[in-house]
């Protein structure tokens, strides 16, 4: 158990819908990262938050947004969903950055039908 | 911007044989380097990391990696693999500071009896 909790574990939804994925970081970790893992794109960095502030942005679509709340949990919002958004979404957390070791959650498997 | 190339998508090997998983990176600045392992239906787990200092890094489960700055490589090695090492292995790089960590496409290690 990495200490990073992601909910839900599985999500099935229809095209055009909006979903929210939730991540609770390990106790004491201030940084949260979101990654998308799909068969054709591999593991893609989406976005990083540190203590509530956006710190780095990767290949995150405009239809996607994220935030980190004062209690340090994070949510990834995916809207106007397309079939191609079906993927495994991982959250990771670390004390500050990847150099201080990032721990990954088990992921949320999103299926868009 | 940094990038990572894992040169082999799949590596089949017999149990107790040595293995090397290759990783090359590119970056215009100093980097941190990581190897993560992903077992089926699980999140990623850190095997080892290079931040600075000795170029030979030892990790968990008997793995080690060598940072070669001139070759911009960070190959992962194990002298004798077990069936339980069957998993997907990801090389990752982040610019010093540890933000925006980018992962390679992964190498699937398959250990045969």
d(CA A57, CA A76): 13
Lowest mean per-residue pLDDT among A59-73, A89-103, B1-15: A89-103
Q: Kindly report, residue by residue over B53-104, the tens digit of the pLDDT.
A: 889 999 999 999 999 999 999 999 999 999 999 999 999 998 776 677 889 9
**R_g over Cα of chain B:** 13
Contact B43 A104 (CB under 8 A): yes
Q: Kindly report, residue by residue over A38-89, the tens digit of the pLDDT.
A: 988 888 999 999 999 999 898 899 999 999 999 999 999 999 999 999 999 9
Residues ≥6 apart with Cβ < 8 Å to B37? B44, B45, B47, B61, B87, B88, B89, B90
Look-up of token digits 């030979």:
B56
Nearest CA in chain A to B52: A99
Instruction: Choose the closest CB to B43 out of A58, A97, A106.
Output: A106
Å between A103 CA and nearest CA of chain B? 7
List residues bridging with B68 in a β-sheet: B73
Question: Is A35 in CB contact (< 8 Å) with chain B?
Answer: yes
Task: Give the whole-number percent of chain A exceeding pLDDT 90.
Answer: 81
pLDDT of residue A93: 94
Shortest CA distance to B37 belongs to which of B83, B74, B92? Answer: B92
């Amino acid at each position: 158990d990495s200490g990073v909790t992601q909910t839900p574990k599985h999500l099935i939804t229809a095209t055009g819908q909006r979903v929210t994925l939730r991540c609770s970081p390990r106790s004491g970790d201030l940084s949260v990262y979101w990654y998308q893992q799909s068969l054709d794109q591999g593991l893609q960095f989406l976005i990083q938050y540190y203590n509530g502030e956006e710190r780095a942005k990767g290949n995150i679509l405009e239809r996607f947004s994220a935030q980190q709340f004062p209690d340090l949990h994070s949510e990834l919002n995916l809207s106007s969903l397309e079939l191609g958004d079906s993927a495994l979404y991982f959250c990771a957390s670390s004390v500050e950055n990847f150099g201080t070791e990032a721990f990954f959650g088990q992921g949320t498997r999103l299926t868009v039908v | 911007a940094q990038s990572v190339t894992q040169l082999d998508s799949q590596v089949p090997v017999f149990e107790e044989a040595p293995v090397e998983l290759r990783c090359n990176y590119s970056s215009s600045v100093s980097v941190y380097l990581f190897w993560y392992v992903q077992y089926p239906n699980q999140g990623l787990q850190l095997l080892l990391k290079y931040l600075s200092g000795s170029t030979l890094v030892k990790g968990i489960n008997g793995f080690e990696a060598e940072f070669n700055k001139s070759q911009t490589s960070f190959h992962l090695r194990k002298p004798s693999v077990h069936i339980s090492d069957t998993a997907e292995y990801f090389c990752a790089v982040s610019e010093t500071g540890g933000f925006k960590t980018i992962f390679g496409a992964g190498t699937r290690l398959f250990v045969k009896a």
